[in-house]
Copies of this chain bind each other. A is one copy, B any other.
Amino acid sequence: MAGNSFGQAFRITTAGESHGGGNVVIIDGVPAGLPLSVDDLLPDLDRRRPGQSKIVTQRQEADTPEILSGVFDGQTTGTSIAILIRNQDQRSKDYSNIMNKYRPGHADYTFDAKYGTRDYRGGGRSSARETNVRVAAGAVAKKLLAELHDISIIGYVKQVGNIIADIPHPEAVTMEQVESNIVRCPDPVKAEQMIALIDEVRKDQDSIGGVSELVATNVPAGWGEPVFDKLKADLGKAMFTLPAVLGVEYGVGFGCATMRGTENNDIFRVKNDSITTDTNHHGGMLGGISSGMPIVLRCAIKPTSSLSREQDTVTRDGEQTTIATKGRHDPCLLPRFAPMGEAMIAIVLADHALRQRAARV
């Protein structure tokens, strides 16, 4: 009810803030017999962590996970898996000056409005730090999906400001291409321009928005549940749980507004004895259920709200004031978004992989 769980058959429950003892995820529903160790969690945690390159926040957070339960002799036992990531770099003094001020674009005011109180050290529960255990849980989900169905999930930067990458075949993008540059854009020419732009806004004490594109391949046709737990709906919710996401679209997305049915309909064809579509305007789901085509979605990510420039705002008591958030912030959220987005997609797909087992007698 209070919103700290996600999923049904593969279900994560999380706790933790930017400060305090750490963040925890309990994963309920991982089937017994999956090989799993801490090493499986590290690559994605490393892609998510602060301080990894010059265009992200320079905070240092090790994000070292500990698997507390549910794994024995290198395999999952079928019981719930708890993963703990301790908080380490907690310079709470960075935040002391904002205790009574509402940072524009942040959840400071809305948390106060909700609870009558808030943990003013960093963002508390609204800090993006809570996503570290989601990424850990996503790594477990990815492992399960790879084992069961050879599914792969890749996220990358499609757009930063006005710079739009040219990626004609989202389903063909490889992790190597994405990780070949620090902005995580598989179009190397545009990647350079994006990096330059991010560097420019950083120097300008400003930030910049963008669009992340994420692709899941090898998802079998038939996943997703009518009416409310359509794959489209669960993925959409998953994306909107992530900080700073202002829009989500599939396939042609908002571009469908100007299309006619004859243009937009993807025609069914038989290829290699299986049913597929010529085009993928639908983004991999029809009636909200996977069609076997690649799932392609995009998220609009707003520019980082924390700025070291002075901005107008108000205090808790309703006095007009100014604020400059002196901490170390990402000038652009896009490079670190990919592993978070992938994790949430993996968690949704793992859930529906297990749910699909109950679909037929």
Enumerate A139-164 residues with CB–CB distance to B below 8 Å.
144, 147-148, 159-162
For chain A, give the interface size range.
35 or more
Query: Which residue of chain B has the shortest Cβ distance to A267 in the bound complex?
Result: B312
Q: A309: which B residues are within 8 A, CB to CB? A: 262
| Among B77, B121, B262, B361, contact of A33 (Cβ-Cβ < 8 Å) | B361
Would you give the shortest CB distance from A233 to chain B, in whole angstroms? 4
A33, A160, A241, A249: residue with the most chain B Cβ atoms closer than 10 Å: A241
Binds B, one of A16-24, A44-52, A171-179, A183-191: A16-24
Residue A357 lies at the interface, judged by CB distance under 8 Å to chain B: yes
Alpha-carbon distance A81/B208, docked complex (angstroms): 34
Besides A24-B26, A104-B268, A109-B286, 15 more A-B contacts (Cβ < 8 Å) are: A1-B354, A2-B11, A2-B355, A3-B227, A4-B28, A8-B8, A13-B13, A24-B82, A31-B359, A110-B287, A111-B287, A162-B258, A267-B312, A268-B313, A270-B320
Alpha-carbon distance A17/B252, docked complex (angstroms): 28
Alpha-carbon distance A300/B232, docked complex (angstroms): 13
Contact, CB under 8 Å: B118 / A77: yes
Binds B, one of A56-64, A123-131, A335-343: A123-131
Residue A217 lies at the interface, judged by CB distance under 8 Å to chain B: no
Assuming the contacts A32-B359, A227-B241, asked whether A289 and B148 have C-beta atoms less than 8 A apart, the reply is no
Q: A260: which B residues are within 8 A, CB to CB? A: 201, 206-209, 303
Interface string of A246-276 (1 = CB under 8 A from B): 1111111111111111111111111001010
Residue A168 lies at the interface, judged by CB distance under 8 Å to chain B: no
A114, A121, A281: residue with the most chain B Cβ atoms closer than 10 Å: A114
Residue A75 lies at the interface, judged by CB distance under 8 Å to chain B: yes
Contact, CB under 8 Å: A70 / B201: no
Contact, CB under 8 Å: A32 / B246: no
Residue pairs across A and B with Cβ atoms less than 8 A apart, 26 shown, are: A2-B29, A5-B28, A5-B228, A14-B80, A15-B69, A16-B82, A21-B68, A32-B359, A78-B114, A110-B222, A110-B291, A113-B222, A113-B289, A114-B359, A130-B227, A209-B259, A232-B245, A246-B282, A247-B247, A254-B254, A254-B300, A260-B303, A262-B307, A268-B313, A357-B357, A358-B358
Alpha-carbon distance A82/B130, docked complex (angstroms): 13
Alpha-carbon distance A207/B257, docked complex (angstroms): 11
Contact, CB under 8 Å: B24 / A227: no
